[in-house]
Amino acid sequence: MLDSIKSHVFVFKVRIYYDRGIYVEGRAVRFVVDPAGPIKGLVDFVLITHGHSDHVSLHAYRYPAVATKETFAAMAVRYGRPHPRRIVVSPGDVLELNEVQIAAFDAGHILGSVMYLVEVEGLQVLFTGDFNTSGSILTDGAEPVERPDVLVMEATYGDPAYVFPNRAEIYDRLIEAVEKYASDGGVAISAYPLGKAQEVAKLFGRRVGAHRTVAKYNEALGIQTGKSGEIVIVPNLRAAPSGYHRIEVSGWYVDPRLEAEARARGVHGLPLSDHSDFPSLIDFVAKTSPRLVYTVYGYSERLAMYLRRKGFKAYTIPGAYGLTRYF
């Protein structure tokens, strides 16, 4: 299909660029993936990979939107009302909108997160959104989707410094810390209210309580917690009850400097992440074997550079006003 590639300009009249959302423009269709801000111009529909606020804004309510039931539930919690034009998908589903073929796959990031493989005017593009190949007690890990023409992938941890421990090891360390602190007063576990908060709640079950912000998402997503005041999941450290021991889970704590800084503030930091680490990102590209890679978010330039060193055509995704590349 793409044998006539010259540099990385393709023969198809499809444009892909980033402008607080990933826009796809063909001759007869225009849509956006994960609009984090105002949607520029008119689009035919919106694809939403998951419910985090840096991937979907209230502006997505203006157009038909494709997402999972969990993502729509999370959006209703955040924005106070359901999306009026929902198109609900599950991993494994295939649908067609405006002559665009769309297939959804597990992303392994948080509950309801999906990747989308789309075929638009003959071009196959895989959008990962945020993804995690290792999975968790709540999600299956993302699997490679072989040989798309273009892979648009996240690069949150796209630097070799970010290599996560085995997830089961982190669970054991978290349980050990909670047991230690719970016997010496209360313990607050700071976890992002949509995502790791549900993972922590699933790990401990009814042994833990939840701050009201976390509880709203848990209830919407069918995750049960108890009413414990001794162990509580909070959305941030500021919400921790006074006098409680504090634990925070974040992938950034794989950096020993950040972990040491947290410890100096009396915070027990643990590197639990719902993203893929650097080796997993590289492995995903190798197994996917795309013709071209666009990196977006986080360490996008560094990841693209390392991918080029390994022989892949890889670039940071163009901006709206950068060099126009048609596929």
Structure tokens, 62: 């203006």
Residues of the chain with pLDDT under 50: 1-9
Predicted TM-score (pTM) of this structure: 0.93
pLDDT at residue number 326: 61
Nearest one of 2, 5, 23, 4 to 14, comparing CA atoms: 23
pLDDT at residue number 12: 61
Q: Which residue has the tokens 């959302």?
A: 21
Nearest one of 21, 30, 27 to 54, comparing CA atoms: 21
Sketch out the chain's domains with CATH numbers: 15-161+275-316 (3.60.15.10), 167-270 (3.40.50.10890)
**pLDDT single digits (tens) 291-302:** 999 999 999 999
Q: Is 61 in contact with 35 (CB distance < 8 Å)?
A: no
pLDDT at residue number 252: 98
The rounded distance, in Å, linking the Cα atoms of 131 and 108 is: 6
The rounded distance, in Å, linking the Cα atoms of 199 and 191 is: 9
Structure tokens, 221: 């997503």
pLDDT at residue number 324: 57
